[in-house]
Structure 1
Amino acid sequence: MTVRVGFFPHNNSLFVLRHTGILERRLPDVTWVDLRALPQGDRPDPRSGLPSVHSDQLFADGGYDVIGTGFTPPITALGAGRDVVYLGVSGPRTENGRLVVPADSPIRQVADLRGRRVGIAHGSWQTTLLLFALDQTGLTWADVEPVNTGADAAQLFLDGRIDAWTGSYPDLDRVEARTGVRTLVRTEGLFSHPSLWFTRRDFAETHRAELAAIVESLQESDRWITDNPRAAAQYFVDDAVARGEDADLDAWERALRNRPFGVNPVDDTFLEEQQRAADLLTANGLLPRAVNVRDAVLPWVNDLVAGTLPARA
């Protein structure tokens, strides 16, 4: 059968795997689905809900069977009643992003964000980071004006059209090269911000061999990225140039060098963090119903992933 794998640059592991040919050696009949080319549907106002495009396409004809994203989309899927299963999770990516304001901003602490415009890629890990930061200070989602910035985030920040921004590298490189910024909240100490991968329960249960091939290929490709970060960075630069966008090879190489690679089984620490995020999203009106993230765990999938990790000496 043809296995459909959804990819986009924000999940660095799957994006590189798309270009290396490693998966095709184990799974010749694979179709790569560029998530950026799929219909995006309606994107809800950040004050009233979460976009569900990732989970919608996971269950749609012409969509995909496996996807890699950031922290928030599987929670969104569970909130929409989708029967998803965690495939694996990366190590913490706390160096990848932070909540920043201009260096001369009067905003000195998270409490000062009340009534301010805060830029996020809504539905991504940035939504969770902002929500965790607000909750830590005693604020709620309703106390700020979240702005779904999309690809224009860095420029909106530089132009002063947002007051604060949950930025990530390499976009932060572009901003820091042009202006001073002050870090309001670091990701480290707030939440782990991992990459993760998930699938449908029916696909996991009926295509175990294909799932194993995907995990094994991700592990091999991630080891290659770790050993060859500049060559891996070139894939991202080439993609951006082909789309008429600017990209800096050095910035991408720095970003990849600072990110953890490798797929790990989901553990209690990760699940507790996902559950806390799910509960906060529900309490702030961003999920239509409460969810139990442990419903998305299949023990044998965890065993499968654990079996692909290097043996400890």
Structure 2
Amino acid sequence: MKISIGAHPSNLTLTALTHYQPLQQPLTDAGLSPEFYWYPEGRMMHALAVAGKVNVIGTGTTRAITAQADGVILAYIGASKPRLSWSSIVVPARSDIVDAGDLDGKRIGFIEGSFQTYFLLAALDRVGLNYTSIHGINLKPGESLAALRAGRIDAWVAMDPYLSDALEGGDIRKIQDCGDLIANRSVFWVLSEVVAAGPKVIQTLFNTLVATDAWIGGHLGQAGELFSRVIANGLSAASWTQGLKSRDWGILPPDRQFFTEQQAEADLLFKHGLLKQPVDISQSMLPFQLDGLATHTRGYSNGRT
């Protein structure tokens, strides 16, 4: 079966799988014919999926939810462990912004449509603000630190390794950690033709994701060099390696807690007008049980329950 795996710089697991051939061996050993589609930004995944370019995808939680809201039929096959210290809202050290309540009317740089949207929204919602309370500016991570230091934005939703690198200068400080509000997972999902291929294919994909993530966690220096070279965002291998140390590596099956988290996020996005319609996350559960993969018997069957 043809497996088309989409990878982008913000998903490090699929970046490693795409660019380090030994990690691909379990797929070929299982008789699959993987193809890898490298694209520069996570926001492109929706169009690529609809166009049939990719059918195995890794994103933050938010892009998977917006894809489902836009009618993409998908099923989750795995999720990273929560990344409690991987992202923070930061401001210049001299700023008078102390907490999320001070963000009202401020210019905030982040990747629109990514998990950073949800993180920011959760911070605003907790203090009684909403998405229209701030001026969001869509910026790539590599552009944001310079914009913050130059005063073009007032705050930045930063993630590692950019976050760790920025904090080393001493002129940037945190006002909100991601882990206080959201789990911040990477999620891995497939389209209907992959689900139709059956449990063995899904299990092979899941096992490969687990092995790839374990390789990164066990080879931080080698992974840092790989990401420095293939992502080429100006960060050194040493900076990448330092940033990777702060992440709790590991891919888990999508369990009840995961689906509860996804539904809470979908409800908050809809509440603030960022989804066209409500989303029932149970529709994205696999229809069969797999060894070591906690799935459910309801929800996913070509869009029907």
1:204 to 167, 174, 195: 195
Verify the 8 A CA contact 1:266 1:302 in the aligned structure 2.
no
Aligned ranges 1:1-313 → 2 under 5 Å = 1-21=1-21, 22-27=23-28, 29-36=33-40, 53-61=44-52, 63-151=53-141, 152-241=143-232, 245-300=233-288, 303=291, 305=293
Q: 1:136 to 1:300 in 2, by over 3 A?
A: same
Give the match's secondary structure for 1:182. Answer: strand
The gaps in structure 1 that reach 5 residues or longer are: 41-50, 308-313
Give the whole-Å Cα distance in 1 for the aligned partners of 2:284 and 2:26.
29
- Following TM superposition, by how much is the alpha carbon of 1:262 offset from its aligned partner in structure 2, in angstroms? 2.4
Give the whole-Å Cα distance in 2 for the aligned partners of 1:34 and 1:207.
26
Give the match's secondary structure for 1:36. Answer: coil
- Following TM superposition, by how much is the alpha carbon of 1:25 offset from its aligned partner in structure 2, in angstroms? 4.3
Give the whole-Å Cα distance in 2 for the aligned partners of 1:74 and 1:229.
27
Verify the 8 A CA contact 1:24 1:30 in the aligned structure 2.
no
- Following TM superposition, by how much is the alpha carbon of 1:29 offset from its aligned partner in structure 2, in angstroms? 1.9
Deviates more, 1:109-118 or 1:213-222: 213-222
Give the whole-Å Cα distance in 2 for the aligned partners of 1:34 and 1:304.
29
Identity of aligned residues (%): 29
Give the whole-Å Cα distance in 2 for the aligned partners of 1:60 and 1:207.
22
Give the match's secondary structure for 1:54. Answer: helix
Q: What amino acid sits opposite 2:126 in the alignment?
A: Q
Give the whole-Å Cα distance in 2 for the aligned partners of 1:76 and 1:257.
30
Verify the 8 A CA contact 2:11 2:58 in the aligned structure 1.
yes
- Following TM superposition, by how much is the alpha carbon of 1:207 offset from its aligned partner in structure 2, in angstroms? 4.8
Q: 1:74 to 1:60 in 2, by over 3 A?
A: same
Give the whole-Å Cα distance in 2 for the aligned partners of 1:87 and 1:301.
11
Q: 1:306 to 1:230 in 2, by over 3 A?
A: farther
Deviates more, 1:211-220 or 1:285-294: 211-220
Q: What amino acid sits opposite 1:119 in the alignment?
A: G
The gaps in structure 2 that reach 5 residues or longer are: 296-305
Q: What amino acid sits opposite 1:250 in the alignment?
A: A
Give the match's secondary structure for 1:92. Answer: coil
- Cα deviation, 1:179-233, whole Å, max 9, x if unaligned, reads 4222111112211101110111332122543332222222222222222111111
Give the whole-Å Cα distance in 1 for the aligned partners of 2:163 and 2:65.
26
Please, what is the CA RMSD of the aligned residues? 2.1
Give the whole-Å Cα distance in 1 for the aligned partners of 2:255 and 2:238.
34
